[in-house]
Amino acid sequence: MLIRSTWTLTVAEPTTLPQSYRLELVKELHRRMSLDIGGEAVPSVVYSGIMGYCTTSRDFLTFDPNEFYQLSLCGLQETASKAIASLTFESSNPDLPPTLELLGAKFNIINRDDEITSYENLYHTLVAVEPEPEKRFDLRFTTPTAFSQNRIYLPLPLPSLMFRSWLERWNHFAPVYLGSDELVHYLSESIAVSRHNIQTRSFPVHSGRVTGFVGTVTLQILSLPDPLLANVANLLIHYAQFAGTGMKTRLGMGQTLVKRENYTFNQKADDINQVRQL
């Protein structure tokens, strides 16, 4: 089971939180779901933090009552996915929406959208039935994304690093093994970044900060003679919407979306977040 749960939030009045709130919030969400945090080599929960426009003053963020905010949680295996699906919040007033409270701040949960699927369904739909291969993939990175490279954090959308990130998570959790580093090498040799519109953003992690990139990236297949490999690439790219990309996805980094024909409210909000991300 895979789930991507997206909540739309509002505040009734200007609301201030420390920039370090993300760690406290992910701890609180794990506590409510009765899940451990930090004990897994590969995180089974991917979390976005609260995304949307807010003002920054030193170490604090202020959320605006005229804005919509989003929070997403993704589960990459059965236990985590079921815990996310069952996660609920109560309102003290049954006539008011449920609320998420943290460090004295209160967010109203006005909508929730759960996308639920499975590894088997993704593999069947995107690979096994041999659909017509896609040649172009438009990705949007809505929270800072980076890769750990020999003690250096690299904030660049290199195909080899992106595909390795997705493949490692897929092989760890999925019942269908896709391949090893040879597959990553083959894909990165045949698929290139054809265009991008990215910028770097600083992301607070514990007592320090990590620089990542946000924005849009287009991947283009240059030469893949085997349609199966093109479909495997498509599978991994769509899986990124659940698994995230790169490092520290359990803390809010690496949120990844694939642009689709049907342009939904959530995607419009995410486009805004790219420009005005925290």
Structure tokens at 91: 């309102």
Asked if the model's pLDDT at residue 170 lies above 50, the reply is yes
Instruction: Decide if 91 contacts 101 (C-beta within 8 A).
Output: no
Vertex 239 angle, CA 271 and 151, to 5°: 85
Asked if the model's pLDDT at residue 272 lies above 60, the reply is no
Rounded percentage of the chain residues whose pLDDT exceeds 90: 81
- For the entire predicted model, the pTM comes to 0.91
pLDDT at 269: 41
pLDDT at 77: 97
Rounded percentage of the chain residues whose pLDDT exceeds 70: 93
pLDDT at 208: 87
pLDDT in tens, 44-63: 999 999 999 999 988 899 99
The band of 260, judged by pLDDT with boundaries at 50, 70 and 90, is: low
Quote the mean pLDDT of the chain. Answer: 91
Asked if the model's pLDDT at residue 277 lies above 90, the reply is no
Asked if the model's pLDDT at residue 259 lies above 70, the reply is yes
DSSP letter, residue 38 = S
Long-range contacts made by residues 118-125, C-beta under 8 angstroms, separation at least 24?
A: 118/1, 118/2, 119/2, 119/170, 119/173, 119/174, 119/175, 119/176, 120/175, 120/176, 122/2, 122/235, 122/238, 122/239, 123/174, 123/176, 123/235
pLDDT in tens, 184-235: 999 999 999 999 999 999 999 887 899 999 999 999 999 877 899 999 999 9
Asked if the model's pLDDT at residue 274 lies above 60, the reply is no
Structure tokens at 204: 């607070």
> Could you give the domains of the chain?
2-117 (3.30.70.1890), 131-276 (3.30.70.1900)
Ranking 8-17, 24-33, 90-99, 112-121 by mean pLDDT, the lowest is 90-99
Cα–Cα distance for residue pair 221/200, rounded to 1 Å: 26
pLDDT at 217: 98
